[in-house]
Structure 1
Amino acid sequence: MPEIAYLKYGKGLPLVLLPGFGETKEIWTDFARPLADSYEVWCPDLPGFGESKAPGEGFTLQTVAQSLGQWLLNQNIPNACLLGHSLGGYLVLEMATLSNLSLSAIGLFHSTAFPDTPMKKETRNQTVAFLDKHGVAPFIRSFVPPLFSAENRDSCQQEIQNLISRGILHSKESLIGYTRAMRDRADHMATLREFSKPKLMICGDQDPAVPLDASLKHQEAVTDFNILENCGHMGMFEKQNESQILIKNFLKGLSVNM
């Protein structure tokens, strides 16, 4: 098993798409195609998910970010634009603090720079308890569908089933480890504000995981803020075309300024 497994498409300015919790690199397969017409798109599996080697026991988002940063260096991906979905966005912010990385831009896709609230921390603890008691498959089957807005679940039924099919293959240890790491993550709003390069944010107006009122508090910290209407937490599926256009427009601005 490789340290970091990945898919790669296209040539041009490097764009790295990080998946979220319980997701794998395959979530970007269709999404990356039009982007790869003009850009070099890298889609890694996070350590412990998909085909990437599991991180060490007691890992944190900081140590995962360091592993991903080393992977970028090993692959010779300079001046990358990092875009992360949900947990992937938390890792983007951690990677933005690494002094050995040269990044052209960062982006949060249904993610946040804020740490967990006390209520969210308790939800994470309940997730750990559920996984311990019931295992991976029952958790994934109950976890995935509500990430989509109710009105989009029927049209995204195939995507939901694909996410479940891949998600039930994850180890309980990785799911529990990431749940605890997300619970204990740092506040990175200052990181987001102080990052001097372009910053993209895409959020959903019906996102159950990152409420819109919390997303709106990021507006002053980013250079390109966007809301997907009638969208839950999975804009790469629920609003694929709209999300691709927003990312393309953001990347065009990078190409002009580089």
Structure 2
Amino acid sequence: MPDIAFWKTGKGKPLVLLPGFGETKEMWQEFVPAISDACEIWCPDLPGIGESSALKQEFSLQDAALVLADWLRLHGIENASLIGHSLGGYIALEMAAKTAAKPKALGFFHSTAFADSPEKRVNRDKTAEFIEKHGAPTFIQSFVAPLFAAKNRETCQAEIEALIRRGSQNSKESLIGYTMAMKNRADHMATLAQFKGNKLMICGEQDPAVPLEASLKHQQAVTAFHQLPDCGHMGMFEKQVESQSIIKDFMQSLAFNR
């Protein structure tokens, strides 16, 4: 089993925060302290990203989910709540659907249960070709800033630079692998609808990666739905206080319902 690098803090009901594409566990460092009094928070690197060891050369999101489910079991937190940013949300759904993990709750932070559209699949191929030709640093440099709403890029400049610095250290093989795994992932709307635990969705009204129109189609399948105004794909930075409050309230509601 690949080694999973992580850090954790807080006490109480376990919450695992899964990063998005090209992101590392350090992305949560400034976000977590405000909610650590409500839960025990685990922040891993995805397999092959950051300091976690790599998967085989060609892998699926289910492969990544199986590794993370084994990691949960190793630490005795199979019933942790899972909140994933973008790609992390896709993997959380795979974990709920096809692994021995039995998450208490699921959360989708600028993510979706839909599979890629035909247009998106074509763009994934273009992304993989770009990474192969130009390498990880050049790709990450062009990729990160546009995820933020235009009006937030100046105020979030330090965060953008940190994401670029850390993301650029990932291997092009892992970035290409996740690009193709996202392209080939299954539609999990049925998984989301059938999941018995509480379900959270946080979306940005100006998200360029997961359009608001698509997010709104999840409203009937989740138990808590929040849309952030003037926000792109990176609400943990663009709307940090609001997002912290939403997640803290969500986790506290789970404790109340236990």
Which residue of the partner structure matches residue 238 of structure 2? 238
Which residue of the partner structure matches residue 164 of structure 1? 164
Higher mean Cα deviation, 128-137 or 170-179?
Answer: 128-137
Verify the 8 A CA contact 2:17 2:44 in the aligned structure 1: yes
Q: Does 1:85 align with 2:85?
A: yes
Which residue of the partner structure matches residue 154 of structure 1? 154
Q: Deviations 1:10-61 (Å, cap 9, x if unpaired)?
A: 1100000000000000000111111111210000000011000001121100
2:116 and 2:39 mapped to 1: Cα distance? 34
Alignment of 1:5-84 (within 5 A): 5-84=5-84
Verify the 8 A CA contact 2:5 2:45 in the aligned structure 1: yes
1:193 and 1:13 mapped to 2: Cα distance? 24
Which residue of the partner structure matches residue 140 of structure 1? 140
1:180 and 1:119 mapped to 2: Cα distance? 14
1:128 and 1:98 mapped to 2: Cα distance? 26
2:132 and 2:52 mapped to 1: Cα distance? 23
Please state how far the C-alpha of 1:78 moved relative to its aligned partner.
4.0
Unaligned runs of 5+ in 2: none
Which residue of the partner structure matches residue 215 of structure 2? 215
2:169 and 2:100 mapped to 1: Cα distance? 34
Please state how far the C-alpha of 1:98 moved relative to its aligned partner.
3.4
Please state how far the C-alpha of 1:209 moved relative to its aligned partner.
0.2
Unaligned runs of 5+ in 1: none
1:63 and 1:183 mapped to 2: Cα distance? 14
The 3-state SS of whatever aligns with 1:215 is: helix
Q: Does 1:115 align with 2:115?
A: yes
Q: Deviations 1:47-86 (Å, cap 9, x if unpaired)?
A: 0110000011211000100000000000111421100000
The 3-state SS of whatever aligns with 2:201 is: strand
Verify the 8 A CA contact 2:69 2:78 in the aligned structure 1: no
What fraction of aligned residue pairs are identical, expressed as a percent? 60
Amino acid at match of 1:91: I
Aligned positions, number: 258
1:52 and 1:106 mapped to 2: Cα distance? 23
Amino acid at match of 2:18: L
Taking structure 2 as the reference length, the TM-score comes to 0.98
Please state how far the C-alpha of 1:102 moved relative to its aligned partner.
2.2
Taking structure 1 as the reference length, the TM-score comes to 0.98
